Amino acid sequence: MRSIHTALLLPVLILTATAASAQTTTSTQTTPTADEIVEKSLTAIGGRAALGKITSRAVSGKMAISTDGGDISGTIETLNQTPNKMRRVITLDLSAMGAGTATIEQRFDGTTAYVMDSMRGDSTLTGNQLENLKNSIFPSPLLDYKQRGTKILLGGKEKLADRDVYALSLTPATGPVTRLFVDAQSYLPVRAIVTLEVPELGSLEQTTDFSDYRDVDGVKVAHTIKGTSSVQTFTVTVTKVEHNVKVDPAMFVKPAAK
């Protein structure tokens, strides 16, 4: 099972991985400032008023993973609650690799993150993976970026495939730097790149692409998420999104010892 790096399947599925405080730069006729891009992106997603009404989100979907050992299919369920609590369960069908079913569950209560992995055993997340989770404010860290002490620098306009994008560099007070690419026409986030410290692998750059945005309760949610690194690629196809679901706080904390 060495070809399946489950540690990469959990933290990189966060769209806005870093709380942000935009650094204002001099505006030109053709290029907006970092502040303006942030505001236009919030508006494109649905606006501050619509985002402010969301207190929780439950997402279900299918997952396909390509590794050097073969292709793997599975399911994914994610639960988020304001301001940054999260629970994610991934179930993988390993029959193609001569095994049964594997389950990876991650819980984050806003302070501590715990992973239950049927293949690699249980563990507590630390280091920049933990900081990455702390900075992942739900439903969007851009809502209160001015209070969070992180800097955003605008790197200019770049090409991503056939589209123009604005390249933003997000540097939080603590935790890894994220490069966020925003579509220059729609102002929706389309790519995030972050380097994570992964056990057994060391520093690993992960690229996550977001597409197929659909309206859910007045807020646009990406329904296709693709993660790429030097060791594996995964694609998540979202099948269901629910907002303001009832949440049991116990779902985010480490289970009590039996």
Domains of the chain: 6-252 (2.50.20.10)
Q: What is the residue-wise DSSP string for 235-258? A: EEEEEEEEES----GGGGSPPPP-
Is pLDDT at 139 greater than 60 in this prediction? yes
Eight-class DSSP state of 185: T
The pLDDT-based confidence of 164 (bands split at 50, 70, 90) is very high
Q: What is the residue-wise DSSP string for 25-40? A: ----SSS--HHHHHHH
Say which residue, 236 or 172, is predicted with more confidence: 236
Q: Which of 1-5, 27-31, 196-200, 201-205 has the lowest mean pLDDT?
A: 1-5
In Å, how far are 28, 47, 94 from 43, measured between CA atoms?
21, 4, 41
Residue 256: the pLDDT is: 83
One-letter amino acid for residue 36 of the chain: E
CA distance 49 to 52: 5
Residue 11: the pLDDT is: 45
The length of the chain in residues reads 258
Average pLDDT estimate for 139-144? 83
Residue 149: the pLDDT is: 87
Q: Which of 90-104, 111-125, 134-148 has the lowest mean pLDDT?
A: 134-148
Residue 8: the pLDDT is: 52
Residue 97: the pLDDT is: 76
Say which residue, 142 or 91, is predicted with more confidence: 91
Average pLDDT estimate for 61-85? 92
Residue 20: the pLDDT is: 35
Q: What is the pTM of this model?
A: 0.88
Residue 55: the pLDDT is: 97
Instruction: Name the average pLDDT for the chain.
Output: 87
Residue 199: the pLDDT is: 76
As a dihedral over the C-alpha atoms of residue 68, residue 69, residue 71, residue 77, rounded to 10 degrees, the angle is -90
